[in-house]
Chains A and B, each alone.
Chain A
């Protein structure tokens, strides 16, 4: 009974802390711009493929496979974790065992996956600690980002050790009591042979120890995640679901501009002085972004696949698509509390453009969409970069000189170069072809 009370208390504290953090985080969505969530069947399909099928992570086949195994393993192990919580609350043991063969299958898979995940995480840690993988570096990858990554990996490593330990000593404990084992444990069965000589009290101690370590690590990990780039564990699947599903090259129309332009183009239109405050065009700070942008930022796990394929970054320019997402996340974290207290008029004298992201970074983008193509969780960096360019051009008239010249040419003669529109058919002069007949 004492164990149950202790467990219930731990669960309560976990949920309360988690709820408090999430509430603070999700308040920030209130400040972002609305965007409709349509095409649900298509979104379900994308989620099944990209999130559950892990299709995009396989663009790096070897590391992709290891990640996919970790992900699928987590899915299976989640079943065991839920059982653990039920057992803890009601003082039962392996309560889902009533599912029979289904249970055997899931628990056996979880046991095997725990070992696979353990090995994969060792590879990940080795890569991070000893190999100089280029995409793990960059101006945005501060020591804290690296520590964050290693901490998350260590957590998972310990979770797997305690899971296998729990299973191993469960087997031994059942053996020592001559009781029937519930479930099948291919890996732990092998491990249990190593500890066969242990005394029954030792076995009991280590069973309890691993059980508590495992569950408390889960509770702790859950509460560390929202403060880590590894929040991606929670956000990735929903992020894929809400991600942009239009063709990569498509740019959203700015409705606020359409009305103005239509009026300008219509000679019959009577100019009506609007009393409304004109909307701000584009994005200059965190609260100008839409909720999907912010969701993207929260889902970024800083893997750097985007930056590794960015033509600007490859050729030594400042732009790093990963940094853009990290900057939005950091800026919202900084400004969110003030916005919450004082409303949208809150001004702390800083902004996303300028204090976090420089104009130089924004103008280096070629809009090639390589970053978005690569992102394993369907983050779309170019649309955020473009929204910031829109702010610079439409609100500040701050485009680079070359682009201003191109704008002027398009406006005056319908082409980005200085040619007369009357010459649009010049290419047809002297157009001859061979008589083939």
Chain B
């Protein structure tokens, strides 16, 4: 059995009390902290950060929902309360650089918090990992996925919203495996169906659920793995794979998981 080490996750308040200001704040996000499937992604990303000896911390219990869902569902009042509360905390810890696994929080923190006085350099974890690859810090030798075919599903808030199509694909490039694309990819990518608050409500009457339409497209590529980079897309693709009874032959992973598994962290 391999030797396991307990990972202690640095918390901002404790570091700050000790007079330390970490370089990065890892914004976990509500889904990253509470959704069972995405908690795994959070853990894998922290393992990568720890392995790379990145100087980071999380807000822990002081983090609150970014407000993205509230804002896009029309509850501007609630969004602004959340944003202003979070900005107060972030500014108190003099946060400069933020990395997050959630494209929705990435978009809100990067593009919308500045309107309310919160100015930070915000990175999505795919961009962060891409930078690590560029800097030669991430090397993957493992052949664990080499006989697998991976298809990447573009999250709307990483792709169309912020024009980041290549970072996640650059990460997949260094993982020995076969890659395919869906017909609707990059700026043509089809939404998973969870954005704009849909995650929390019943879908309107229609002929089909959006996540089924998208999963069918992914299945049609013949891929073994749907790679995503968003907690909502993760939930939708997982449901889609179940709905289409493909659990035996198809899995879905976040790009951070693919990296950490490949690195045997």
Bound Cα distance from A421 to B89, whole angstroms: 15
User: Which 7 residue pairs of A and B lie closest in terms of their CB atoms, listed nearest first?
Assistant: A249-B161, A316-B207, A367-B196, A389-B74, A402-B201, A368-B191, A316-B206
Q: Nearest chain-A residue to B44 (Cβ)?
A: A433
A433 near B51: Cβ-Cβ < 8 Å: yes
B107 near A249: Cβ-Cβ < 8 Å: yes
Distance (whole angstroms) from the CB of A41 to the closest CB of chain B:
20
Given A247-B161, A309-B188, A433-B47: A281 touches B69 (CB 8 Å cut-off): no
B200 near A416: Cβ-Cβ < 8 Å: yes
Most buried by B among A59, A249, A254, A421: A249
* B81 located at the interface, meaning its Cβ lies under 8 Å from any Cβ of chain A in the complex: yes
Query: With a CB–CB cut-off of 8 A, which chain A residues contact B81?
Result: 261, 264-265, 411
* B6 located at the interface, meaning its Cβ lies under 8 Å from any Cβ of chain A in the complex: yes
* A34 located at the interface, meaning its Cβ lies under 8 Å from any Cβ of chain B in the complex: no
A281 near B78: Cβ-Cβ < 8 Å: no
B80 near A258: Cβ-Cβ < 8 Å: yes
* A435 located at the interface, meaning its Cβ lies under 8 Å from any Cβ of chain B in the complex: yes
Distance (whole angstroms) from the CB of A421 to the closest CB of chain B:
6
B80 near A402: Cβ-Cβ < 8 Å: no
* A253 located at the interface, meaning its Cβ lies under 8 Å from any Cβ of chain B in the complex: yes
Query: With a CB–CB cut-off of 8 A, which chain A residues contact B162?
Result: 247, 249
A364 near B265: Cβ-Cβ < 8 Å: no
Q: Beta-carbon contacts of B39-68 to A below 8 Å, as 1s and 0s?
A: 100110011001100000010110111010
* B72 located at the interface, meaning its Cβ lies under 8 Å from any Cβ of chain A in the complex: yes
Bound Cα distance from A326 to B153, whole angstroms: 32
Query: With a CB–CB cut-off of 8 A, which chain A residues contact B173?
Result: none
Bound Cα distance from A381 to B4, whole angstroms: 52
Q: Beta-carbon contacts of A305-318 to B below 8 Å, as 1s and 0s?
A: 00001011011111
Q: Beta-carbon contacts of B71-91 to A below 8 Å, as 1s and 0s?
A: 111111110111011000000
Given A364-B203, A427-B33, A434-B265: 19 more A-B contacts, CB < 8 Å = A253-B112, A311-B213, A312-B206, A315-B208, A368-B160, A368-B195, A386-B72, A407-B73, A414-B64, A415-B65, A417-B35, A422-B61, A423-B34, A424-B61, A427-B32, A427-B42, A432-B6, A433-B5, A435-B2
Interface residues of A in 383-406 (CB under 8 A from B): 386, 389-394, 399-403, 405-406
* A272 located at the interface, meaning its Cβ lies under 8 Å from any Cβ of chain B in the complex: no
Q: List 22 A-B contacts (CB under 8 A).
A: A249-B156, A249-B161, A250-B161, A251-B71, A253-B115, A319-B204, A368-B195, A369-B161, A390-B74, A391-B74, A410-B69, A414-B63, A415-B30, A416-B65, A426-B33, A431-B9, A432-B5, A434-B2, A434-B3, A434-B5, A435-B5, A436-B263
Q: Beta-carbon contacts of B94-124 to A below 8 Å, as 1s and 0s?
A: 0000000000000100011001100000000
A433 near B195: Cβ-Cβ < 8 Å: no
Residue of A318, A373, A405, A433 near B7 (CB, 8 A) is: A433
Residue of A261, A366, A424 near B191 (CB, 8 A) is: A366
Q: Beta-carbon contacts of B246-265 to A below 8 Å, as 1s and 0s?
A: 00000000000000000111
Distance (whole angstroms) from the CB of B167 to the closest CB of chain A:
15
Residue of A319, A410, A421 near B78 (CB, 8 A) is: A410
Distance (whole angstroms) from the CB of A244 to the closest CB of chain B:
12
Q: Nearest chain-B residue to A390 (Cβ)?
A: B74
Bound Cα distance from A358 to B63, whole angstroms: 37
Residue of B51, B73, B263 near A403 (CB, 8 A) is: B73
> Which residues of B pack against A, CB within 8 Å?
2-7, 9, 11, 28, 30, 32-35, 39, 42-43, 46-47, 50-51, 58, 60-61, 63-65, 67, 69-78, 80-82, 84-85, 107, 111-112, 115-116, 156-157, 160-163, 187-191, 193-210, 212-214, 263-265
Bound Cα distance from A435 to B193, whole angstroms: 39
B196 near A417: Cβ-Cβ < 8 Å: no
Bound Cα distance from A431 to B265, whole angstroms: 11
A373 near B213: Cβ-Cβ < 8 Å: no
Given A265-B81, A386-B72: A432 touches B4 (CB 8 Å cut-off): yes
Given A410-B70, A435-B5: A424 touches B33 (CB 8 Å cut-off): yes
Query: With a CB–CB cut-off of 8 A, which chain B residues contact A38?
Result: none
Bound Cα distance from A261 to B80, whole angstroms: 7
A315 near B9: Cβ-Cβ < 8 Å: no
Residue of B42, B65, B200, B208 near A402 (CB, 8 A) is: B200
Given A247-B163, A251-B112, A416-B30: A366 touches B73 (CB 8 Å cut-off): no
Bound Cα distance from A5 to B3, whole angstroms: 98
Bound Cα distance from A423 to B32, whole angstroms: 12
Q: Nearest chain-A residue to B212 (Cβ)?
A: A315
Bound Cα distance from A392 to B112, whole angstroms: 22
B75 near A407: Cβ-Cβ < 8 Å: yes
* A180 located at the interface, meaning its Cβ lies under 8 Å from any Cβ of chain B in the complex: no
Bound Cα distance from A15 to B115, whole angstroms: 45
A315 near B213: Cβ-Cβ < 8 Å: yes
Distance (whole angstroms) from the CB of B221 to the closest CB of chain A:
18
Most buried by A among B60, B191, B208, B212: B191
* A246 located at the interface, meaning its Cβ lies under 8 Å from any Cβ of chain B in the complex: yes
